[in-house]
Structure 1
Amino acid sequence: MQPIRVLIVDDHAVFAEALAARLRREPDLVVLPVAPDGRRALALTATERPHVLVLDLALGAENGLDVLDRVRERHPHVRVVVLSATDEVDAIVQAVRRGAVGFLAKTESAELVARVVRGAARRGGWLPPDVLGDVLRRLLDGGAERDGTRLPAGLTPREREVLQCMVDGLNRAQIAERLGLSANTVRTHTQNLLAKLDVHSVLEAITLAMRAGMRPGRRD
């Protein structure tokens, strides 16, 4: 597979360079020079074409969310994973609403950062499991009863089953076990789902499904 190009955006030089050095040990990751601020991040994104940005929310006098907005506006295909000193629900909700597909606390291991980067590059998403429910509830803010969201009519029964499993919080291996499918088949169904729902990550698919009335544990 094509190596994943990663750009770390963080003004904490010691932390950023240590993370970059660790991620460079991963054979499938190509880590670009660290960007200490939004201006450098945008310049490197334009010239180096990263697949994934790993973005801190505190960039000196800059707000990382504003950098996220500019990246998403100018380079909508770049996937953004926030790596922050905070894991507060408010910060996570704001980042996801503005286009981030993943959110990690800086206390997490480099191994998890690498795994989330890989997932983001493959149109996946990741949030801390202990706050996932709270974040989704905040994102929904009233749900389908208010905005009338509906799922596309073209979803197959199997795709709906896979989507329900996602809403239930299952990962790909767990979905495969529940439905008696191979991991590759689940991957194919997931890719088809994202395309039909016109979303870019599993997190967005779950949010849309819950706005349309799906809930954890429901089988109808």
Structure 2
Amino acid sequence: MANIQIAIVDDHEIVRDGIKILLEDEPGINITGEAKTGKEAVSLCNSHETDLVIMDITMPEMDGIEATKIIKENHPDIKILALTMLSEDQHIRKMIKAGASGYILKSSGKQELIKAINTIMAGKHYFSNDATQSILQELVTPDVNKVKDEDEAHITDRELEVLKLIVNEYTNQEIADELFVSVRTIDAHRRNLLQKTGAKNTAGLVKYALKNKLFNNNG
């Protein structure tokens, strides 16, 4: 079996050096390159033969989530293993959605790192115990606690206008008339709001607006 060609991506040189030391004598593994930003990681994968990228998340220029997304779009066969200090469920979910096949913490030891690499290269997924617990906690948390904060939801100004009218009990037709657009457009805005906020229905949207104190001056 050919060696696994691995790229290491982390903005801290001491971390990259530590990973190289852990892996350089491991049979079947070859370090082909390293990068200190997500942008460099994308370029590295375009120019070097790479089977797997060990990817940090928080980096300058472009974070690991965006880099993973671009790499997977351009090179679907390249596997991504997130290696990070971040154990919060939102980071795990975002990395999985971007295309990562594994997620382990920097507190992991050499054996877990090698196990994660081999598991991913066998076509499976690998998550450290801490990451698994975080995902399980997210699954069992009541829906009311899953509603996102305003900053995380990235609601546009137009969607905010629509949400304000929803809170004021306008129908879709009334909102469309108020904003001089079609009902179909309002339907699309409502779907986007549900997706972005994590709400399941109109009541959830109202609860979201109240939780984030979006329209305090409007009753």
**Shorter chain as normaliser: what TM range?**
0.5 to 0.7
User: Relative contact order (C-alpha < 8 Å, sep 6+): which is higher?
Assistant: 1
Per-residue CA deviations over 1:82-113 (Å, capped at 9, x if unaligned) read: 00111112211111111111001111112211
Letter in 2 for 1:75: H
Q: Is the CA contact 1:51–1:78 (under 8 Å) kept in the aligned structure 2?
A: yes
Q: Equivalent residue for 2:99?
A: 99
Paired residue secondary structure (1:65): helix
Q: Distance in 2 between matches of 1:104 and 1:128?
A: 5
Per-residue CA deviations over 1:33-83 (Å, capped at 9, x if unaligned) read: 211122321222122221110000011243211111111111111010000
Per-residue CA deviations over 1:120-166 (Å, capped at 9, x if unaligned) read: 1111111123442652685799xxxxxxxxxxxxxxxxxxxxxxxxx
**CA 1:30–1:89 in structure 2 vs 1: closer, same or farther (change >3 Å)?**
same
Structure 1 residues without counterparts, runs of 5 or longer: 142-220
Paired residue secondary structure (2:123): coil
Structure 2 residues without counterparts, runs of 5 or longer: 142-219
**CA 1:32–1:140 in structure 2 vs 1: closer, same or farther (change >3 Å)?**
farther
Q: Distance in 2 between matches of 1:129 and 1:72?
A: 25
Q: Is the CA contact 1:97–1:139 (under 8 Å) kept in the aligned structure 2?
A: no
Letter in 1 for 2:12: H
Q: Is the CA contact 1:93–1:139 (under 8 Å) kept in the aligned structure 2?
A: no
Q: Is the CA contact 1:56–1:82 (under 8 Å) kept in the aligned structure 2?
A: yes
Letter in 1 for 2:110: A
Number of residue pairs matched by the alignment: 142
Given the alignment of the two structures, is residue 11 of structure 1 paired with residue 11 of structure 2, yes or no? yes
Q: How does 1:1-220 map to 2 (within 5 A)?
A: 1-132=1-132, 134-135=134-135, 138=138
31-40 or 79-88, larger mean C-alpha shift = 31-40
Per-residue CA deviations over 1:162-212 (Å, capped at 9, x if unaligned) read: xxxxxxxxxxxxxxxxxxxxxxxxxxxxxxxxxxxxxxxxxxxxxxxxxxx
Q: Is the CA contact 1:4–1:118 (under 8 Å) kept in the aligned structure 2?
A: no
| Divergent runs of 4+, >2 A | 128-134, 136-141
Q: Distance in 2 between matches of 1:75 and 1:10?
A: 20
- What is the TM-score of this pair, normalised by structure 2? 0.59
**CA 1:22–1:128 in structure 2 vs 1: closer, same or farther (change >3 Å)?**
closer
Paired residue secondary structure (2:70): helix
Q: Is the CA contact 1:6–1:51 (under 8 Å) kept in the aligned structure 2?
A: yes
Identity between Structure 1 and Structure 2 (%): 21
51-60 or 30-39, larger mean C-alpha shift = 30-39
Shift of 1:17: 1.4
Q: Distance in 1 between matches of 2:5 and 2:140?
A: 32
Q: Which structure: larger Rg?
A: 2
- What is the TM-score of this pair, normalised by structure 1? 0.59
